[in-house]
Chains A and B, each alone.
Chain A
Amino acid sequence: MCTYLTSTEKVAGTGLGARGWFPIERAVVYFDHPQEAPVEHALCIDFRAGGDDPSQRVAVELDARSARTLAESILATLAHDEVVALGVN
């Protein structure tokens, strides 16, 4: 199937693209046909810069299980005592 399910989050950080590091302002998350990954559907994330250059992005395409594992890993890392102690959450 093709989906229009897309969520866009404002994010602050940097991404490493073909021409080096650049600030990223948005993460576009969707579940649909990937461009490259050898699966019918993938959880796709585009970390996008704020300007007009459409190639200023970092794209990942993950199978659903990998995406879930990654999400849990991110949350677990942020919940770790050492991270919580930094007071950054």
Chain B
Amino acid sequence: MSSDKIEAGTITLVSGKGDEIEAYHARPVDAESYGSVVVIHHMPGYDSSTKEIARRFAAHGYGAVVPNLFHRYAPGASAGDGAAAARAAGGVPDAQCIEDVSGAMTFLKAQPGANGKVGVIGYCSGGRQTYLVACNLDVDAAVVCYGGGVVATPDQLTPERPVAVIDMTKDLRCPMLGLFGVNDANPSPEHTARMEEELKAHGKTYRFHTYDDAGHAFFWVERPSYNAEASRQGWHEIWDFYGEHLEG
């Protein structure tokens, strides 16, 4: 019988630019060789729901790290206070997000048993950030879960987010899986169609699934937006996708 033992807890992560942030690490204890995933939290913050996702990856045999992208705005604060502080400051700059995910990838690759392959998955604003980092870092597989704001008009650009992520598509370095809800307004089916158009135009490898009766945040089990069927199918897609690109 194979071991299902996992270990999880808070760590200090060195960002790509050298400073330290809080993060949550979960890993399979007895696995001899395993792939890894950086889990990017949603706009409501570095919360228990996202840490639970990291443990779920570990239970399925992957190493996982959730970097607290809001750490610098409110060190040691609750998820809610951290999210509020980050929003009040204008939100996480894209460049900073890339450095934090870069640090998480370096950490995961250095763990005993890690096979060197690292995927990224993100939810909500983290879905957009997943698209962003997959175009800027050597990620092996990216899963975008209802990432809003990938398609952005010029008036939506800010000093923190100066470039529309969709315009980075030509630099995408890995296969992408996109999971969306048909009733979502951001990203809407029109937005995801626009993403597909761009991915096709640049010859990128991707799979998109848009679930009926689902809206935004259908994976979030503690909220009214949770959709059991979309979530069930979505997790199957994730296991297949990461099994294909991160194992071995």
Give chain A's interface residues, CB within 8 Å of chain B.
1-4, 6, 8, 26, 28, 30, 32-36, 38-40, 46, 48, 54-55, 57, 59
Contact = CB atoms under 8 A, between A and B. Distances in A.
Nearest to A8: B88
B24 to A, nearest CB: 18
Given A28-B88, A54-B82, A57-B84, A3 B148 contact: yes
Interface of B: 42-45, 73-74, 77-85, 87-88, 90-91, 124-125, 148-149, 156, 158, 161, 184-187, 215-217, 223-225
Contacts of B73: 54
Dominant SS at the B interface?
A: loop
Contacts, number: 74
Interface of A is mostly: loop
7 contacts: A2-B186, A4-B91, A4-B149, A4-B161, A6-B88, A6-B91, A57-B84
Contacts of B77: 54-55
Contacts of B85: 54
Contacts of B82: 54
Contacts of B185: 1
A48 B225 CA distance: 28
Contacts of A34: 44
